[in-house]
Structure 1
């Protein structure tokens, strides 16, 4: 009895130590995210849209040869006092675009708690809120599959260490859009299925959360359904193989019901998917068989560069060598007659096959249909990056542990070596500056704007894409007012303020008539004799005329 109590106390201490290690890791990763958040100095155009479509008051309009004061456009990006928690407007705004509304509800809620405030930290805080449960869900998935012993805990720790410290995941938290919340529902979906298979419990405590996850995931990002479809298909095959027909029918009914309720709540979703400009583009890309290899290679390279620091080929080679060696040495696991049916051909747990099916299907479909936008396209694969990293680590450590001599010391040595490798990969990516959506190059331009905010400002916009004016919103909010002028309007500039100032700041759209606009401004104001380029921002150039 005394020996049993000693063992229980030792096991309890071990759990407490590991729990403390996970909490410390989470805290360090949150501090890392806050550090990168402090470095974020600009916004992606879609991030401006997140604030605008969430907090819109009257709408943004571009009127040629008119002054517009600061509040007229700043108020469109913040929640005004008395306009808090207007979820009906948020839903309507998204129905006019191509996105579901749940993420915007969340962002609007946070902005409503801080009326009149426009800040990157409101959007980053929303993503940090999703990051925390993602961390625990990913650890839970690994723990369920790898086993609730020392091996499972170590693999869960390694996976979270690699995932939360990777450049792509940090970038995802910095990106003020819905993808971090989609990651939450993807991981929740995976955890629910993995846990159900492991515990062999498929009743209402499983079906109701699955239905809720379908409802919320679909209303967060339509790509969620791609992941759930492939995971659900593999899960149904598993149920069929176990002859659990009643469970299969109940599961399908729960998913279809949840999906139907989501469509009833948000009917615009069907139009977005099948008739909206993004849905039409996605279908055209999917139907084009000629781009398949190019697109798969593109997204594979993104994962390689931003998640494993360019080491993917080496990792896959080592995995292949280990498994081939294991097979040649005859060290395959024998067929296990497990009551839950968790082994397939005596090799891999069913849960692994579920994740492989879901990730492979999602990767293929999204690679075929997502926008190719350079490094920023990582956003589309962000929801499955944690699962892909786990699968890599699982297939690496599973055969490796069979070659090593048994013993606690050996296990700890392997764990420490892998931790060092993970930290090295993350360190390489972070040192190479692979965290994006920071726009640190805009810090100097913003400092110039703030120092010269009282100088008259004119914005020469391209009338073919006048909405691009609002990509300058963070800078334009610094000026008391701005003057809008179309580059296509060749009439003389007659505004008294612009024509009598000894200094003028001019934003010029990336258009061939930009220089001609500056020359017209020089002609209309005798005090101005020259202009110099101050900064470039996307489609815009900022000039100082004096």
Structure 2
């Protein structure tokens, strides 16, 4: 017992060292992050816009009249008298497509810094969640593999991966969801091994509620995790425990709905594109294949540094370890298999891939961010399976674990070097500097008043002294709009040209209309983004 305690203490110190190194990596890449994805702009706006969930909520304060960066700051930052306005956050999220917990956290941090927004507000939240997730992943791995040192393997592989870094510096709810995903897995494993108690059921209830209030995809993971656990209890003929557990889980879902009634309306609403496309995707083989390909490429980039050569090397290493264990520890293998009556890592080997499959069948955007919360448990499940197949031969098992840790650490370092960490947007300062060069020129923003492209371009628009948002029909009076603005010096025109998320306007056609009405014939494309393109018109 004392030896186990000493081993656990030493392994815990090693864990702290690893987590400190990983935190340093996160901060280093966080410092290199120079811009924001559109969803990150939404994160700040939905958290801090005072009862205004979208920039379009400002109506006549931003549409069809000259506006400046004041309205943008009002949307993205907490203003005086609006600190800790949680009612506003709840309202904003009731108009969006996500539950409110992450936004409540971001608003809380923002409330300590009124009038400001910073990437570190969101990265700080994610970093705390990442470190706690790493700690519980170690505890879970240590329990599953009966060794505190082996628990460090999944922490090392996942925590240093490009995927973990990317979703820590990405200012969205995915690392918060990762925390509740790992916590739920840890609590279920403890309950499976130690037995159900009211305290454990209460903790699972709380984690389930928090997970559901963070991201709706959590319900898919929770469904399969709880389903495996429930069926296992039935198989063990623990019927009372199984149905008590089910009641607690359903109670958690009901509580989440009571706390955030928009839970139901967001999923069923017919006037929002994400909800519409999600329902449309159900049963679509094309969607399933597209998303699974995206997840495959994502995992390839997030863990393998985009190297296909790593796949056969990993398989060869695993096969060699299993073969060595088979030939060197055959008798112990029979004894070990005969004693195993635990659910163990099968809990995650079954539930996590099943969750990935269902998420792939409904997700609107083909992006691995929707499964990134499962990354730590998927890594753990793979390592646990290797451990289970080699544990009867300690030399083979220990050698394999060390080699896997070193291999994936090298792949992570390679992924840093080759640019597989996402959401850095290191080119954004160049675009903003380019915009500031024309900051004193009037800027026209042409959209059909949809919010996506406009939200994407808020940081760019804040570089201009004034900007005017109108639709294509409004260009009929462009000469009146520009009256008194010294348009002869030149104007900037940004066109919302994305047909799926935005207006789908033809940029060249819009510029031609403006050029004919203003006499500004010299046209140059200044820069383009995913949802828009910006032109300079001069005489």
Q: TM-score range by the shorter chain?
A: 0.7 to 0.9
**CA separation of 1:398/1:308 partners in 2, compared to 1, >3 Å: closer, same or farther?**
farther
Aligned to 1:170: 165
Following superposition, the deviation at residue 392 of structure 1 comes to: 2.0
Query: What does the per-residue CA deviation read over 1:431-466, in whole Å, with 9 as the maximum and x for residues that have no partner?
Result: 22111122112221122334543x123133232646
Contact preservation (8 Å) 1:326, 1:332: no
Contact preservation (8 Å) 1:332, 1:347: no
- Write the distance in 1 (CA, Å) between the matches of 2:509 and 2:290: 41
Following superposition, the deviation at residue 380 of structure 1 comes to: 0.6
Contact preservation (8 Å) 2:287, 2:362: no
Contact preservation (8 Å) 1:154, 1:415: no
Following superposition, the deviation at residue 543 of structure 1 comes to: 3.2
- Write the distance in 1 (CA, Å) between the matches of 2:280 and 2:325: 44
**CA separation of 1:333/1:485 partners in 2, compared to 1, >3 Å: closer, same or farther?**
same
- Write the distance in 1 (CA, Å) between the matches of 2:183 and 2:167: 18
Following superposition, the deviation at residue 24 of structure 1 comes to: 1.8
- Write the distance in 1 (CA, Å) between the matches of 2:178 and 2:395: 38
**CA separation of 1:116/1:464 partners in 2, compared to 1, >3 Å: closer, same or farther?**
closer
2:151 alignment partner, SS class? helix
Aligned to 2:529: 537
- Write the distance in 1 (CA, Å) between the matches of 2:537 and 2:290: 46
Matched, 1:333 2:328: no
- Write the distance in 1 (CA, Å) between the matches of 2:400 and 2:319: 19
Following superposition, the deviation at residue 261 of structure 1 comes to: 1.5
Match among 434, 440, 444 for residue 459 of structure 1? 444
- Write the distance in 2 (CA, Å) between the matches of 1:128 and 1:85: 22
**CA separation of 1:323/1:283 partners in 2, compared to 1, >3 Å: closer, same or farther?**
farther
Following superposition, the deviation at residue 99 of structure 1 comes to: 1.4
Aligned to 1:387: 377
- Write the distance in 2 (CA, Å) between the matches of 1:154 and 1:350: 21
Query: What does the per-residue CA deviation read over 1:255-297, in whole Å, with 9 as the maximum and x for residues that have no partner?
Result: 1112112112222212222345434433432322465445434
Matched, 1:103 2:97: no
Contact preservation (8 Å) 2:69, 2:461: yes
Query: What does the per-residue CA deviation read over 1:23-70, in whole Å, with 9 as the maximum and x for residues that have no partner?
Result: 121111112111111222222211111111111135333765420122
Contact preservation (8 Å) 1:499, 1:525: no
Aligned to 2:501: none
- Write the distance in 2 (CA, Å) between the matches of 1:286 and 1:320: 38
**TM-score (normalised: structure 2):** 0.87
Aligned to 2:118: 119
**CA separation of 1:271/1:492 partners in 2, compared to 1, >3 Å: closer, same or farther?**
closer
**Greater mean alpha carbon deviation, residues 12-21 or residues 121-130:** 12-21
Aligned to 2:59: 61
Unaligned runs of 5+ in 1: 1-6, 337-342
Match among 4, 19, 23 for residue 12 of structure 2? 19
Aligned to 1:3: none
Matched, 1:45 2:47: no
2:35 alignment partner, SS class? coil
- Write the distance in 1 (CA, Å) between the matches of 2:340 and 2:534: 62
Match among 395, 400, 405 for residue 419 of structure 1? 405
Matched, 1:378 2:368: yes
**CA separation of 1:324/1:19 partners in 2, compared to 1, >3 Å: closer, same or farther?**
closer
Contact preservation (8 Å) 2:138, 2:155: yes
Aligned to 2:138: 139
**CA separation of 1:118/1:18 partners in 2, compared to 1, >3 Å: closer, same or farther?**
same
**CA separation of 1:78/1:312 partners in 2, compared to 1, >3 Å: closer, same or farther?**
same
Structural mapping, 1:131-280, within 5 Å? 131-147=130-146, 152-198=147-193, 200-275=194-269, 277=272, 278-280=274-276
**Greater mean alpha carbon deviation, residues 14-23 or residues 382-391:** 14-23
- Write the distance in 2 (CA, Å) between the matches of 1:87 and 1:259: 22
Matched, 1:85 2:84: yes
**TM-score (normalised: structure 1):** 0.86
Aligned to 1:363: 356
- Write the distance in 2 (CA, Å) between the matches of 1:485 and 1:241: 64
Aligned Cα root-mean-square deviation (Å) = 2.9
Following superposition, the deviation at residue 418 of structure 1 comes to: 3.0
**CA separation of 1:521/1:14 partners in 2, compared to 1, >3 Å: closer, same or farther?**
same
Structural mapping, 1:426-465, within 5 Å? 426-453=412-439, 455-463=440-448, 465=450
Aligned to 1:300: 296
Matched, 1:480 2:443: no
**Greater mean alpha carbon deviation, residues 212-221 or residues 535-544:** 535-544
Contact preservation (8 Å) 1:318, 1:396: no
- Write the distance in 2 (CA, Å) between the matches of 1:297 and 1:500: 49
1:490 alignment partner, SS class? helix
Following superposition, the deviation at residue 498 of structure 1 comes to: 3.5
Aligned to 1:339: none
Aligned to 2:500: none
1:493 alignment partner, SS class? helix
Query: What does the per-residue CA deviation read over 1:377-423, in whole Å, with 9 as the maximum and x for residues that have no partner?
Result: 121111110111112223334434545648xxx94x55543332121
- Write the distance in 2 (CA, Å) between the matches of 1:134 and 1:419: 18
